[in-house]
Amino acid sequence: MIRRRRIIATVLVSTGLLALGAYARTAIQNKGSDTLVNVAQAWAEAYAKKAPEVAIAVSGGGSGTGIAAMINGTVDIANSSRRMKKSEIDLATEHGQDPVEHIVGYDALAVFLHPDNPASTLSLKQLSSIYARGQEFGNWSDLGVEVPGCKDNTIIVVSRQNNSGTYAYFQEAVLGKGGKYRQGTLDMHGSKDVVDLVEKTPCAIGYSGLAYATDHVKMACISSEDGKACVSPSVATASNRTYPIARPLFMYTNGAPKGDVKDYLDWILSDEGQCIILNKGYAPAHDVTCE
Amino acid sequence: MSPDVSTTELSSGRTGVTADDFDRRNLDWYVDKAVEVLVFICGISAIIFIIGIFTFITKEGYAFILQMDWVEVFTTQYWFPSDEGDPEFGILALIAGTASVTGLAMAVAIPFSLGGAIFVAEFASGKTREVLKVLVELLAAIPSVVWGFIGLSIMNPLIIKTFDVPVGLNVLNAGIILGLMAAPIMTSIAEDALKAVPDRYREAAEAMGATRWQIIVRVVLPAAKNGLLGAVLLGVGRGFGETMAVLMATGHSVNIPGSLFDSVRALTATIAAELGETAVGSEHYQALFAIGIFLFLITFIINLSADLIVRGVREG
């Protein structure tokens, strides 16, 4: 009898301790960009070892998802691969939020081609002629190339769904202010889908974060102007800003970060945090030396 | 003993029992009433849900409908709702995408389901028939994401190889997939319609020396035509509403198709792909709900007319 009581008491006490422990852990909700999700996950895992009392819940869904969650006040940190639009900031203010921007790294947007495609250098102007409305290059021969295995030489233009951060950045950087995408692009739902499709389609051209590159696709060397020397996408060229389509990666907090969120962001921007993003194939926000 | 007396005695006896019985009957009465209310709620729950859903999508989307430019929305093909400076909300290309895929799906599904229904209802018997019916129902149970996956990973390379086209995610791919998805339910309903044709029709025709084929074409099919039309309309409704498979198999490209090999995008797929990433309450969000209202109305009209037609068969 006494023994049984002792067991019950032990169970009760340990449950209480566990509950107390769970209570003491603070949770940071981190959501958004699919481009950043792998890095965010790696940060969260490394930080869990450093500060076990803070639990960080990371989920993806796209920059729009993170920003929407920030506007609706359901996350502590929103990841985004594009800047918040003015309309979104206004909407957030209306909902009583105050999004504050932090640049946590840079990402080179690679332009992918099928390995059989003889084209290897593209200028921003040519890219714009392929992607923009009105000045369409519909055919690979417009660029002076003949793509084997591609009937009619038609360019199959692969893009992203219209609320992806990659889509928005590419529009801004390649099509210019007020430039619009042409009609009839294949809008893939995710960076990986773009690479998969280009891999299987000789006629295709697509764009995505450098980290999604595989051995089965070719990355075009991009020149900022016709005739200028081109730069290949890499972590190094994104870090020194020579690659023309490298974009900042953002984390948004509601108001200036405080407490655990501030500690976490400070750690992300520390050399230790920045080495993690570097290892994942992105350029760090500032120069770091990692072993 | 006169009959009068016995009646009085009986009824007085009954009254005696009733007093005792009162509580029990009362409990029964409550149980009875409770079950009645419960069944009533179940019965009208469909209506409650329909009204609830319609209210919800209207609430989210009406602001857009009130201020939208009807001409732009229904006659232009540019769907760029997230553009910061100059968003465009033309859904013509999306409607064309949905219509072309559904149209092709019906071209695939009608011969299949009609042939299947005729075989099951008129020719097959015994075990064959039972096995076929079960298999058709099993086909209807395949989840749409599986169909989409088949479109993406089997049909896509097959179409590229067979027709020598650059991309296999197009109207043809989605139309075939959707046709196969809609065929089972159309087969079941068409078979019911054929079964509803009274045997005396067939017997009369047979007595006049008609062959089996003549009976089917001249007698059974005309007699069952309303039911068959209902089956087709339900298939159309299925096609309009299907999301996952068309999202995966169409190529998701805003485009008015000029051939079977053009990629398109469906209305439903647009909502599925974009809704999760739009800020609640933004114009883009409301526009997606407005598309939802449009889809709801179309499928409602299609299903309602299918239902009325099928009902007409049963009564006529």
Q: Which is higher by pLDDT, B84 or B211?
A: B211
DSSP code of B251? Answer: B
Pair (A156, A270) in one structural domain: no
- Say yes or no for a CB contact (<8 Å) between B252 and A188: yes
DSSP code of B279? Answer: P
CATH number for the domain harbouring residue A62: 3.40.190.10
Nearest to B191 by CA among B152, B227, B217: B227
Contacts of A67 in chain B (CB under 8 A): 279
Q: Which range, of A35-44, A160-169, B17-26, averages the lowest pLDDT?
A: B17-26
Give the distance from residue A135's alpha carbon to the nearest chain B alpha carbon, in angstroms: 16
Contacts of A168 in chain B (CB under 8 A): 82
Q: Record the tokens describing residue B276, joined without a space.
A: 């999760």
> Virtual CA dihedral for B239, A183, B77, B258, nearest 10 degrees?
-60
What is the arithmetic mean of pLDDT over A133-159?
87
Pair (A242, A126) in one structural domain: yes
| Coil, helix or strand at residue B89 | strand
Give the distance from residue B153's alpha carbon to the nearest chain A alpha carbon, in angstroms: 11
Pair (A116, A239) in one structural domain: yes
The confidence band for A189, taking pLDDT boundaries of 50, 70 and 90, is confident
Pair (A130, A115) in one structural domain: yes
Q: Nearest by CB to B77, which of A87, A91, A183?
A: A183
Q: Note whether B157 and B169 are within 8 A (CB).
A: no
Pair (A90, A126) in one structural domain: no
Pair (A195, A137) in one structural domain: yes
- Say yes or no for a CB contact (<8 Å) between A91 and B279: yes
- H or E element that contains B26: helix B3-67
- Say yes or no for a CB contact (<8 Å) between A64 and B77: no
Give the distance from residue A284's alpha carbon to the nearest chain B alpha carbon, in angstroms: 26
Contacts of A205 in chain B (CB under 8 A): none
Q: Is the pLDDT of residue B9 over 50?
A: no
Residue A261: per-residue pLDDT: 92
Q: Is the pLDDT of residue B33 over 50?
A: yes
Q: Nearest by CB to A183, which of B164, B166, B255?
A: B255
Taking the Cβ of residue B83 and every Cβ of chain A, the question of whether any pair is shorter than 8 Å is answered with yes
- Say yes or no for a CB contact (<8 Å) between A64 and B279: yes
Q: Which range, of A1-10, B55-64, B209-218, B264-273, averages the lowest pLDDT?
A: A1-10
Taking the Cβ of residue B82 and every Cβ of chain A, the question of whether any pair is shorter than 8 Å is answered with yes
| Coil, helix or strand at residue B256 | coil
Dist. CA B279–CA A204, nearest whole Å: 31
What are the pLDDT digits (tens) for A197-231?
A: 999 889 999 999 898 899 999 999 999 888 889 99
- Quote the mean pLDDT of chain B: 87
- Say yes or no for a CB contact (<8 Å) between B82 and A162: yes
Q: Is the pLDDT of residue B3 over 60?
A: no
Contacts of A165 in chain B (CB under 8 A): none
Dist. CA A177–CA B157, nearest whole Å: 38
Q: CATH homologous superfamily for B88-315?
A: MetI-like (1.10.3720.10)
Residue B278: per-residue pLDDT: 78
pTM over 0.90: no
| Coil, helix or strand at residue B167 | coil
Q: Is the pLDDT of residue B2 over 50?
A: no
Residue B201: per-residue pLDDT: 93
Q: Record the tokens describing residue A114, joined without a space.
A: 């099928």
Dist. CA B121–CA B192, nearest whole Å: 8
Dist. CA B313–CA B316, nearest whole Å: 5
- Quote the mean pLDDT of chain A: 87
Q: Which range, of A8-17, A30-39, A98-107, B251-260, averages the lowest pLDDT?
A: A8-17
Owner of token pair 């197009």: B170
Nearest to B275 by CA among B93, B61, B107: B61
What are the pLDDT digits (tens) for B89-134?
A: 999 999 999 999 999 999 999 999 999 999 999 898 889 999 999 9
> Virtual CA dihedral for B47, B50, B56, B58, nearest 10 degrees?
-110
Kindly give, in sequence order, each residue whose CB lies less than 8 Å from that of residue B165, ignoring residues fewer than 6 positions away.
A151, B159, B261
- Say yes or no for a CB contact (<8 Å) between B273 and A187: yes
Q: Record the tokens describing residue A79, joined without a space.
A: 């990841």
Domain that holds residue A82: 2-106+249-284
Contacts of A89 in chain B (CB under 8 A): none
Pair (A177, A231) in one structural domain: yes
Domain boundaries, chain B: 27-67, 88-315
Radius of gyration of the CA atoms of chain A, in A: 23
Q: Record the tokens describing residue A62, joined without a space.
A: 């796209």
Q: Is the pLDDT of residue A267 over 90?
A: yes
DSSP code of B275? Answer: G
Q: Is residue A291, in this structure, part of any structural domain at all?
A: no
Question: Left, alpha or beta for B274 (phi > 0: left; psi -120 to 50: alpha)?
Answer: alpha
Q: Nearest by CB to B80, which of A180, A197, A204?
A: A180
Dist. CA B292–CA B309, nearest whole Å: 25
Residue B309: per-residue pLDDT: 83
Give, in order, the Cα–Cα distances in Å from B118 to each of B25, B115, B213: 54, 5, 10
Pair (A171, A214) in one structural domain: yes
Range A142-145, long-range pairs (CB < 8 A, 24+ positions): A143/A119, A145/A117, A145/A118, A145/A119
Nearest CA in chain A to B283: A87
Contacts of B166 in chain A (CB under 8 A): 150-152, 154, 156, 201-204
Write out the residues of chain A at the interface with chain B, using a CB-CB cutoff of 8 A. 61-65, 67-68, 71-72, 85-88, 91, 150-152, 154, 156, 161-164, 167-168, 178, 180-181, 183-189, 197, 200-204
Q: Nearest by CB to B167, which of A68, A180, A201?
A: A201
Top residue of A71, A95, A131, A183 to mutate, by most chain B CBs within 10 Å, is: A183
Q: Is residue A290, in this structure, part of any structural domain at all?
A: no
Q: Is the pLDDT of residue B11 over 80?
A: no
Q: Is residue A75, in this structure, part of any structural domain at all?
A: yes
Taking the Cβ of residue B210 and every Cβ of chain A, the question of whether any pair is shorter than 8 Å is answered with no
Q: Is the pLDDT of residue B183 over 50?
A: yes
Kindly give, in sequence order, each residue whose CB lies less than 8 Å from that of residue A85, ignoring residues fewer than 6 positions away.
B84
Question: Bridge partners of A208?
Answer: A110
Q: Nearest by CB to A71, which of B169, B253, B279?
A: B279
Q: Is residue A15, in this structure, part of any structural domain at all?
A: yes
Contacts of A86 in chain B (CB under 8 A): 84
Per the structure, the count of domains in chain A is: 2
| Three-state SS letters, chain A | CHHHHHHHHHHHHHHHHHHHHHHHCEEEEEEECHHHHHHHHHHHHHHHHHCCCEEEEEEEECHHHHHHHHHCCCCCEEEECCCCCHHHHHHHHHCCCCEEEEEEEEEEEEEEECCCCCCCEEEHHHHHHHHECCCCCCEHHHHCCCCCCCHHHECEEEEECCCCHHHHHHHHHHHCCCCCECCCCEEECCHHHHHHHHHHCCCEEEEEEHHHCCCCCEECEEECCCCCCCECCCHHHHHCCCCCCEEEEEEEEECCCCHHHHHHHHHHHCHHHHHHHHHCCCEECCCCCCC
Pair (A70, A58) in one structural domain: yes
- Say yes or no for a CB contact (<8 Å) between A64 and B280: no
Residues within 8 A of A (CB atoms), B 22-61 only: none
Dist. CA A100–CA A253, nearest whole Å: 5
Give, in order, the Cα–Cα distances in Å from A178 to each of A131, A173, B83, B297: 13, 11, 9, 35
What are the pLDDT digits (tens) for B56-70?
A: 999 999 989 998 888
Residue B220: per-residue pLDDT: 93
